[in-house]
Structure 1
């Protein structure tokens, strides 16, 4: 029989993961607060039905929402998913959350006989759509086994980081520290170059061939150069994710001043009304402070 799954959260990442599972031959039910996303997914082959109608037949629930509060609401809120799943079903939780929260979700799922895989994702919307994400996963052998078809459909690489939840989310925090800092540093470097009379496109052309390059420079600088801030990954993500990093660092007695500085830039971007734009829009914070005109913003 084909695997029967539900994907909660049809944003840029969740939609791509749902598409990848469809392409792998699964029956996929998509749920989102935005009705148009659900309608579009059904038109592309998603299976219809309300969650109440399909819950008891589901083999897995994939949760691709924004934060811990939303994960808890999907799983254990009013009419939450876990209460309706059959024993042996698996929850694959992909949101960036604190490690201790992931452990708590695993415990609460286990009380209901439900497997929980702590499975944060990385790679962006493009890789999500073609099933080539990196997944930082931890959980029991049974959770991995139950989620295996979904992992195969959505991931290029699955990092198996431990036999209990929490380790996957801890590794995602390390990734987000680097990714968030690198995006902010990309913005700083590109705009600094502009103060020195160097066109952003020239910065990208040269630095991408030099030791100072990074994946984030090569991926995000083109957004600044084109002046296109259509969100593939929103500015709004970073105050939450870097906040998780700093929370974990504080609990460990660890000082993370570079993360703190990057976080301040994202918070400034949100205050400027840029939260819903692509995270490369953090360059606008630097541009405003230096009275620079970025490509695509010329009057």
Structure 2
């Protein structure tokens, strides 16, 4: 099977490398960054700087870009993949987006004779490299069957939520409510402990062995302890994703006050110039309010 991954970032690179390891597939990877293409080529993949340069007759494409606009451009824009895809190819879009955008992209794909799977993922860069992402998918039985070998190679679990595109994206938006609130709460707890005179590393060790721990606290707060702002997932990702939570909540007349407050904290950190930093550094919003020194700042 001739397949491609569009977007060799933190998640996409891991997915592309696991497709190579799975065997039985010719794998191309698309990314404008020369460094990403070089890493993928060194692993045995076929790199391309744009989707329009994919091998002709590509039968499956996994899209791991930031948002709906990028996904649409990568597939159907002037430099998009669509002309390079085989008739009946499966398009798997794993970008986090509003459910209505997933439905719209599915309509475009199906009108061109392609199968479409709405398949957001979770698991972070570590999960992607391990081939252990969680997939929240929806699509027709035919689309899911054709996407099966691709999704199996990159995930530990594929949840099939129904036939209709948009259900996968709805689930991912609900998931991001939890993820964003948990990161903001982890930062709040760390900032409060620092402000109150606790040693931050000791605070961390106690929490991860106690009932107050969360996956996000244990995963993200080491970045703060190590003063490592390199983005695995950036502050601005959660400005986007928690904005999607608010949009979904309004569309069904649902109050989501915790998500709204967490969004404001990410917006605050972004407004201070930290939008491109690791999302753990939403803690900068608390630092601005309290004057605390973070680890590594003396």
Q: TM-score of the superposition, structure 2-length normalised?
A: 0.95
TM superposition shift of 1:248: 0.9
TM superposition shift of 1:56: 2.8
Measured in 1, the distance between the counterparts of 2:76 and 2:209 equals 49
- The answer as to whether partners of 1:118 and 1:166 remain within 8 angstroms in 2 is yes
Measured in 2, the distance between the counterparts of 1:62 and 1:111 equals 19
Measured in 2, the distance between the counterparts of 1:117 and 1:232 equals 25
Other-structure match for 2:12: 14
Other-structure match for 1:36: 35
- The answer as to whether partners of 1:91 and 1:117 remain within 8 angstroms in 2 is yes
TM superposition shift of 1:94: 0.5
Other-structure match for 1:129: 129
- The answer as to whether partners of 2:38 and 2:47 remain within 8 angstroms in 1 is no
Other-structure match for 1:203: 203
TM superposition shift of 1:51: 4.6
Over the residues paired in the alignment, what is the CA RMSD in angstroms? 1.4
Other-structure match for 1:171: 171
Structure 2 unaligned spans of 5+: none
Measured in 1, the distance between the counterparts of 2:230 and 2:153 equals 26
> Which stretch has the larger CA shift, 30-39 or 254-263?
30-39
TM superposition shift of 1:85: 1.6
Measured in 1, the distance between the counterparts of 2:53 and 2:265 equals 45
Which ranges of 4 or more aligned residues in structure 1 deviate by more than 6 Å? none
- The answer as to whether partners of 1:83 and 1:112 remain within 8 angstroms in 2 is no
Q: TM-score of the superposition, structure 1-length normalised?
A: 0.95
The C-alpha deviation readout for 1:147-173, integer Å capped at 9, x for no partner, is 111111100011111111111000000
Alignment of 1:18-97 (within 5 A): 18-25=16-23, 26-48=25-47, 51-52=51-52, 54-97=54-97
- The answer as to whether partners of 1:132 and 1:157 remain within 8 angstroms in 2 is yes
Measured in 1, the distance between the counterparts of 2:141 and 2:16 equals 24
The C-alpha deviation readout for 1:134-159, integer Å capped at 9, x for no partner, is 01001011111111111111000111
What secondary structure is seen at the aligned counterpart in 1 of 2:87?
coil
